[in-house]
Amino acid sequence: MKNYKLTIDLLPKGAWGNDLSKTLSKKDWDIIRNECYKKAHYKCEICGYETKELDAHEVWEFNEETRTQTLLNIITICSKCHGVKHFRNSKRLGFEEDAKKHFMYVNNASEFEFASHLANALFEFDKRNSIYYWNMDVDLTKLGYKDIKYLQKYRKKIINPYSEIELDSLQNDNSLLPRILELEINNYNGTINLICDRTNKIEWYGDNLIKIKFNFARNFKTSFDVTELTNSNIYFKLYGNNSKFTSKKFKLVKFEM
């Protein structure tokens, strides 16, 4: 496969939220990105464009056998090159053609070469999405940041007790009882997502009460994050007008590494 100066590097879903800009403090991330800009003399390290609108881009390597995400480098790039790196996001925002043209310009590539490279990037993206949780290998001392520490967020896999149960069976015709309309488990980011109606309040429990959230709308959309919970199971209670629904227990188990 041809080596391109500018490539499409799609982060698998299990890696969303692992980037340093979200896991480090704002102070530490500002130190890193400003140092990157300075080292690059305020120019894009890919296309050479000189601008004040620069981004610090993290270069990652993914090992599917060990399920490890390794930080290789942090480079300075312009917004156009960044749009190519995260092509799916550019497409979602309506900048698909701009990103395509920039890829072709920087790499002196044809439309066919772009399409072939994109297809390969999407294939790798889909393949890596089979992994919900990546073990992080981040050594910032190798990049010169010995005083900045990266701490991986640990979470457990959520086992849905309703996976074999049709939600229609939970939708009681009694207009006073809380009702679950949608229930989604997202093991990429460790959340339980609910849409309910006839519900004024939800309480989340582990060994004890963890969280309470109130509702003042017709449909109650809520999400619960299990990241870093130490509990082995959790459940929720929905409250309506003088009525209550208690869920089955959601097991929280370690991801196989």
Tell me the one-letter amino acid at 163: S
DSSP conformation class of 183? E
The amino acid present at 79, given as its one-letter code, is S
| Structural contact between residues 217 and 195, judged by C-beta atoms closer than 8 angstroms | no
pLDDT for res 167: 66
| Alpha helices (H) in the chain, listed in sequence order | 20-23, 26-39, 79-85, 87-92, 96-107, 111-128
Beta bridge partners of 202: 213, 238
CA dihedral 150, 130, 225, 252 (to 10 degrees): -100
State the Cα–Cα distance between residues 140 and 227, nearest whole angstrom.
23
Q: Which residue has the tokens 């004890």?
A: 208
Q: What is the DSSP letter of 169?
A: G
Residue 76 has which token pair? 């300075």
Number of alpha helices (DSSP H) and beta strands (DSSP E) in the chain = 6, 12
DSSP state of 19: S
203: which residues sit within 8 A by CB, 6+ positions away?
Answer: 209, 211, 212, 236, 237, 239
DSSP labels, 128-154: HTT-S--EEE--GGGGT-TT----PPP
pLDDT at 141: 94
**CA–CA separation, 246 and 202 (whole Å):** 10
- Cα dist from 9 to 108, 119, 121, whole Å: 18, 12, 7
Consecutive 10-residue averages of pLDDT for the chain (257 residues): 90 93 94 96 96 94 96 97 97 97 98 97 97 94 92 89 75 74 94 94 96 94 92 96 92 86
Q: Can you give the pTM of this predicted structure?
A: 0.84
Report residue 97 as tokens.
């053609």
Task: Count the helix, strand and coil residues of the chain and give each as a percent rounded to the nearest 5.
Answer: 30, 30, 40
Q: pLDDT for 163-211, tens place per residue? A: 887 766 665 566 678 989 999 999 999 999 999 999 999 999 999 999 9
